[in-house]
Chains A and B, each alone.
Chain A
């Protein structure tokens, strides 16, 4: 069933340590005072400006296959294409922090408040990821109620791990996130900018496991997949 989710503002505000870790900055206790001030101000601004909301819809595997089909790429050539057939549950999602926060970031950069703009952008990016995690947790809770307590849920998004950004188009056609104010431009970029989209894949930890031997893995320097797989395999 398609569902609009309205989050409370604090639910989209990341912890300081999450922002610092994501940006490779020192831990809180060793952070220079001027950076600490920047971070605190950015977190306060995020808490004030964020307008978190999402749309989510559980769908059967055949419908998700139809979301991937227009890409014309064999499913086995994508991480998500290899993973989803093993899923016990799938849900499309789009979650956004709203327009006020990116607007403030743009304004800061326009005013040459570069460090402030950068820090707020970092906080907002962490906030958007946090929303995806919260949706994953909500979905997991639903699966627990259905007796699928073993299910591990991970979000997979267009733009990553071989899923082309043009994959946004069929995803948007299926989910219609315009209702929460999210649109696509001609290049399939989402507006507001601080928005995440994709599919929540639920299944046993092993369902998320794959060998990172895709052609695009050669170009990847983040190797985020290893951390993601470890997170669900550890809990399994």
Chain B
């Protein structure tokens, strides 16, 4: 479909007005919202994510595209609900207690939404219990944790331990990220995954949830 490609192209350009106009046009033409989402918006975000991973574009470029994605997504949401289009999975995200750095975490949330996941963002300064409580309450199958400080990343271990303690291991996966975090640390604390940036986070979440 030509219009879906135009949506994806406009999204890559970060042109939110054009994405909104084209999305409305596609809906008006009777295209299923699920197709517009997957073959227009998500396809466009996938390209941007790949360009970001290859360092061909930079974080603000991704964010301009993300805003364009929201311009389309806002129009699609009511239609997605009525069409019964399922999300790829529900994810709880937050920055660790004692840490207010949440830009990276926000970006992961945006990229996950762009990839079709439902995101419950708990914000920053989140206590370990709050992560697990939210996952149970919301029926989420993955907890994503972020930290910028070496003094707060240690609390990720508490979340992983709580997940096990409450018998949720295997049902609720855990993934960690942030400047001081690496794969060795993730392995050491027993987290299910680690992502070095937002684009990789989407890949890891997809793999962990089989989505």
Contacts and interface: CB of A to CB of B under 8 A. Distances in A.
A112 B110 CA distance: 10
Interface residues of B, number: 28
A85 to B, nearest CB: 22
A118 B60 contact: yes
A193 interface: yes
B98 A165 contact: yes
B151 interface: yes
Contacts of A114: 63-64, 66-67, 106, 110
Contacts of A221: 179-182
Contacts of B87: none
B125 A187 contact: yes
Contacts of A24: 58
B151 A165 contact: yes
Which label, helix, strand, loop or mixed, suits the secondary structure of the A interface? loop
A162 interface: yes
A149 to B, nearest CB: 35
A219 B150 CA distance: 7
Among A161, A193, A216, chain B packs the most CB atoms within 10 A around the CB of A216
A23 B97 contact: no
B141 interface: no
Contact of B152 (A38, A121, A165, A220): A165
A161 B151 CA distance: 8
Contact of B103 (A118, A163, A216, A219): A118
9 closest Cβ contacts across the A-B interface? A115-B63, A114-B63, A115-B60, A115-B64, A165-B98, A219-B150, A187-B98, A216-B150, A159-B149
10 contacts: A25-B59, A32-B61, A34-B64, A112-B70, A115-B63, A159-B149, A159-B152, A165-B149, A189-B98, A216-B151
Interface of A: 23-26, 32, 34-35, 38, 109, 112-115, 117-119, 121, 159-166, 185, 187-189, 193, 216, 219-222
